[in-house]
Amino acid sequence: MRPDHPVQKRRRRFGWGFRLAALWIVLVVGAALAADVLPLPHYDATLAGEPRTGPSLAHPLGTDGLGRDMLSRIVHGARVSLGVGIGAALLGLLVGGPLGLLAGYRRGRTDRAIMTANDIVLAFPALVLALAVVAFAGSGVRNILLVLGLLGAPAWVRLIRGVTLSYAQREFVTAARALGARGGTVMWREISPNVVMPAVSYAFTVMAVIVVAEGSLAFLGLSVQAPTPTWGGMINEGRSTMDTAVHTVLAPSAVMFLTVLAFNLVGDRLQEMAGYRQSGLEPARRKRPAARPVLEDAVPVAPREGPAPLLEAAGLRTAFVTERGLVRAVDGVSFTLERGRTLAIVGESGSGKSMLIRSVLGLLPPGGVERSGRVRLDGRDLTDLGPEGMREVLGTRLAAVFQDPMTALNPVRTVGTQVTEPLRVHRGMSRSEAYAKAEELLASVGIPEPRRVLRGYPHQLSGGMRQRVTIAMALSCDPEVLFADEPTTALDVTVQKQILRLLHRERDGRDMAMVLVSHDLAVVAEHADEVIVMYAGRVVERGPADVLFTAPRMRYTEALLRAAPDLAAPSHTRLEVIDGRPPDLADPPAGCRFHPRCPFARERCTTEEPPLTEADGRSYACWYPAGTPTEPADLEGSVPHGG
Amino acid sequence: MALVALRRGAQLLFVLLAVTVLAFWMITLLPGDPAVQILGYGGDEAALAKVRNDLGLDDPFWSRYLDWLGGAVTGDLGTSYISSIPVAESLTGRLPVTLELLLLSQVISLGLAIPAGLAAARRAGGLLDRTLTTASFGLLSTPVFVSGVVLIMIFAVRWPLLPATGYTPFGTDPLENLRSMLLPSVTLAAGQLAVYARLLRADLIATLQEDYITLARARGLSPRRILWRHALRPSAISLVTVVGLNLGALIGGAVIIETLFGLPGVGRLLVEAILSRDYLVVQGGVLLVAVGYVLVNFGIDLLYGALDPRIRHAS
């Protein structure tokens, strides 16, 4: 099934800001180069026009206090600014680059020596040093360029070292080393090309800094001396006439601002080209929400008869808007769940299990995500709730535990602050009440010395203990449904069992419902009442755990069971792996999504998608299900598989 | 723990010594004969010889350095040949102005940058974020002497609300003191505000991808609470580092700002000393700045532990 709407490819181009900036740099550089041949009055010709007059045809930027042409002075001033800016940036790179490469590549003692020297040099006030050198050694362009260039070198060392460090450990570099390439060769051939892009982008940023530094020197009267004009010098001179002739300050200020801005913009955009996805906490508000493709609402779901189930998902869909089109991570999933029962969601990684949980909870990553379908809690539609309404439900009625306890707790807050937070926010408890309750909670999930643990930080606890803490946090406000997303995958085998038993016990003790996501079928078989098998964002089979595991219908479920240890009865049975990989969700295969990997697939499977059909209290989506009369497949109709 | 502290202390001492050697050595590197530079070319040989002797210019480098260091440790940086005022006295006289400028500017820039960074990161890519990014880019690209001149033009020349230049000591008139420090502090804060906000925004965006933030959302906590209480502190390391670097650099005074607004701070003193070739003042000033920088950054290192308990417990 392809996206219904052609999705515009997100353009990864420079944008107009970058182009204007580049154009401005070209313009200023060009003007500086051609300063002598441009038809302008001499920059030092006094009384070229009436002093302190504003812009006119003869003097596009007006005249200064001595009647000199401002445009001519700015154009000639550009030679100093840009010459020093570009020259000093290159000098800094030339000196700092090799040192940075060396420090990052050699590491160890070389690195420490270079970086200590670097830090000592950085301790000296750059501008004061520049001032001193220029004042004592003379203020020619050469001296200024040398000083500013050398003072910039430590920052170059730092940057190049950082980039080199990150590359020196990558495979291709280690491989080159292992093949016996000499240090110098590796550094030159393998690492420096990768350092080029960050270096180029930083060069532009440095040019901006140096243009400002040269301007500062000139402003203090310590750059190239009169009669040669400099931008900073012009701004300084203009100060005396700014109350009567504003343009004498504004014109050089504006040119300088635009030039620095242009260098910064170009540097920034080049850096972004390496690019990372940016998203915040909440989706950015768009001006035209309808401009993006919207997920079709699934089959209109008629209200059910009789009492509403505790939790119900109906036609839930979630898709990411990407450059390659809509990626349908959850594609029309429905289920119901009652108190005191456990629903397991199984499937390979990438089948949409975790996304389904996040979709139910409304915790999707902000930006570029679409959700449709319904989620009802006690008959109340949660998808209609705004973010605030949802916050009242989250933590109090719905709670979650995630896979990796190492990343699930905030590293800089004490365990106590984190466990008591929901109690204080949702239950309005006082600090001492919340701590008393938290201590009780930690004890109930099997944490020894809860009081001491509350005072400590997450990194002081083992993985199993941390997971117990996250469970205690999730249970703190007595939720009705607990979502556990692979709660034991990151833990030791012995700890896994304890945590699962704990979850099971809490579910029974609290009469709550649990949604357990797992790829471990042994776990599921032991703890779940009902099972959903997901493949490529869809439910392919659903039914009571015991039925589903003893007699799977859908071929994918069958394959999963064969691939699972423990379950396949005798321990000497050979484990089978499922050939191939889960499909690309941006462009899933036509027909049954599993057909490219299914040994039983036939012609029909490649074209027609099997519906989720219900039979004997279970449902499955398969044209040629296992354990039914169609079983002996006549192989003439089968298609080659292996995708 | 005690061993770590000892090692850190030794390291600090080493860097400080290196810095003093460099500060001392640098001045002797400058071209020309200091005696001639001090007395001018007209001076007679006897006077030159006396200055050389006073400065110990004929002694070997290390003996001169140790002399100077001994003095520096006891607060004696020599007496200026130009003004006949002890160097240490001129420096301590100027330091309060610089420190006030430094403090006010950091309060202003951090006071604005933290909320701005949080607001921008909350909906990254949104209208507010893009507006703030553009604005901070503009601020970042404005040299202080440009923004200072423009602010003077607006608030002192066009509408004379604030003094354009000059300084009133806090002890003389606190209100007037604040009025005279407002424009310089805002000018200095403007550029730093942009740097701080961008830095914080970038680190916050990275933090907001963490599992513990998603789980905080799953506990029904408000975005405001998540940003301020959960995300801000783990995202503050780079910000603190850069604030430290700035503080260290600013101990030398904001040379341009002090010149532009006529504030008698350390930066002005240094510029004047450089222009009048007042060696000893330059040397003392550079020493003060470099030592201050090293100490501030040492303090920042200690602060990392307060920000992140993992760093605290690792050491």
Residue A422 has pLDDT above 90, yes or no: yes
Taking the C-alpha atoms of residue A35 and residue A490, their distance in angstroms, rounded to an integer, is: 67
Considering only residues B83 and B36, tell me which one the structure prediction assigns the higher pLDDT: B83
Pairs of residues, one from chain A and one from chain B, whose beta carbons lie less than 8 Å apart: 237
CB contact under 8 A, A123 and B290: yes
pLDDT in the model for residue A567: 56
Highest average pLDDT, of A211-215, B57-61, B245-249, comes from: A211-215
The ipTM estimated for the assembled molecules is 0.82
CB contact under 8 A, A284 and B310: no
Q: What's the pLDDT band for A54 if we cut at 50, 70, 90?
A: confident
Chain A hits for B126, Cβ within 8 Å? 280, 284-285
- For B157-193, b/e burial (b = at least 16 CB within 10 A) is eeeeebbbeebbebeeeeeebeebbbbbbbbbbbbbb
- Smallest Cβ–Cβ distance between A410 and the set B15, B209, B234 belongs to B234
Q: How far is A497 from chain B (nearest CA, A)?
A: 23
pLDDT in the model for residue A638: 44
Instruction: With H, G, I as helix, E, B as strand and everything else as coil, classify residue A322.
Output: strand
Q: Is B94 on the interface with A (CB under 8 A)?
A: no
pLDDT in the model for residue B182: 92
Interface of A with B in 35-94 (CB under 8 A): none
Paired tokens of A443: 């004890």
With the C-alpha atoms ordered B181, B183, B186, B190, is the resulting torsion angle positive or negative? negative
Residue B240 has pLDDT above 50, yes or no: yes
What are the residues whose beta carbons fall under 8 Å from the beta carbon of A574, sequence distance 6 or more?
none
Surface-to-core class of residue A98, CB atoms within 10 Å of its CB (0-12 exposed, 13-18 middle, 19+ buried): middle
pLDDT in the model for residue B50: 77
pLDDT in the model for residue A566: 60
Instruction: With H, G, I as helix, E, B as strand and everything else as coil, classify residue A318.
Output: strand
pLDDT in the model for residue B307: 81
Nearest CA in chain A to B147: A253
pLDDT in the model for residue A643: 34
Chain A hits for B141, Cβ within 8 Å? 208, 257, 260-261, 264
What's the whole-number mean pLDDT along residues A64-89? 88
Mean pLDDT of chain A: 82
pLDDT in the model for residue B15: 81
From A280-284, A417-421, A612-616, B141-145, the region with the lowest mean pLDDT: A280-284
CB contact under 8 A, A282 and B310: no
Whether the CB-CB separation of B299 and B244 falls below 8 Å is answered with: yes
pLDDT in the model for residue A11: 45
pLDDT > 90 in chain B, percent: 23
Q: What's the pLDDT band for A160 if we cut at 50, 70, 90?
A: confident
Considering only residues B105 and B309, tell me which one the structure prediction assigns the higher pLDDT: B105
pLDDT in the model for residue A85: 92
Q: What's the pLDDT band for A255 if we cut at 50, 70, 90?
A: very high
CB contact under 8 A, B217 and A116: no
Q: Is A267 on the interface with B (CB under 8 A)?
A: no
Q: Is B211 on the interface with A (CB under 8 A)?
A: yes
CB contact under 8 A, B127 and A287: yes
CB contact under 8 A, B218 and A426: no
CB contact under 8 A, A128 and B286: yes
pLDDT in the model for residue A187: 67
pLDDT in the model for residue A169: 67
Residue A300 has pLDDT above 60, yes or no: no
pLDDT tens digit sequence for A105-137 = 887 788 888 888 887 777 776 777 787 777 777
Write out the DSSP string of A260-315: HHHHHHHHHHHHHHT------SSPPPPS-GGGS--PPP-SPPPPPSSSPPSEEEEE
Nearest CA in chain B to A394: B220
Phi-psi region of B51 (alpha: psi -120 to 50; beta: other; left: phi over 0): alpha
pLDDT in the model for residue A2: 38
pLDDT in the model for residue A451: 94
Q: Tell me how crowded residue B228 is: count the other CB atoms within 10 A of its CB.
A: 14
Interface test with B, best of A119, A128, A207, A485 (most B CBs within 10 A): A128
Taking the C-alpha atoms of residue A1 and residue A12, their distance in angstroms, rounded to an integer, is: 27
Highest average pLDDT, of A40-49, A257-266, A569-578, comes from: A257-266
pLDDT in the model for residue A254: 92
Of B184, B270, B262, which Cα lies nearest the Cα of A128? Answer: B270
pLDDT tens digit sequence for A593-639 = 888 888 888 888 888 889 888 888 888 998 888 876 654 444 444 44
Interface test with A, best of B141, B233, B294 (most A CBs within 10 A): B141
Q: Is A112 on the interface with B (CB under 8 A)?
A: no
pLDDT tens digit sequence for B121-140 = 988 888 888 899 889 889 98
CB contact under 8 A, B145 and A232: yes
Taking the C-alpha atoms of residue B49 and residue B58, their distance in angstroms, rounded to an integer, is: 10
pLDDT in the model for residue B1: 54
From B45-59, B222-236, B239-253, the region with the lowest mean pLDDT: B45-59
Chain B hits for A407, Cβ within 8 Å? 210-212
Nearest CA in chain A to B267: A128
pLDDT in the model for residue A429: 93
Residue A292 has pLDDT above 50, yes or no: no
Q: Is A124 on the interface with B (CB under 8 A)?
A: yes
Number of residues assigned to chain A: 643
Nearest CA in chain A to B136: A261
Q: What pTM was computed for the model?
A: 0.82
Mean pLDDT of chain B: 85
Instruction: With H, G, I as helix, E, B as strand and everything else as coil, classify residue A613.
Output: strand
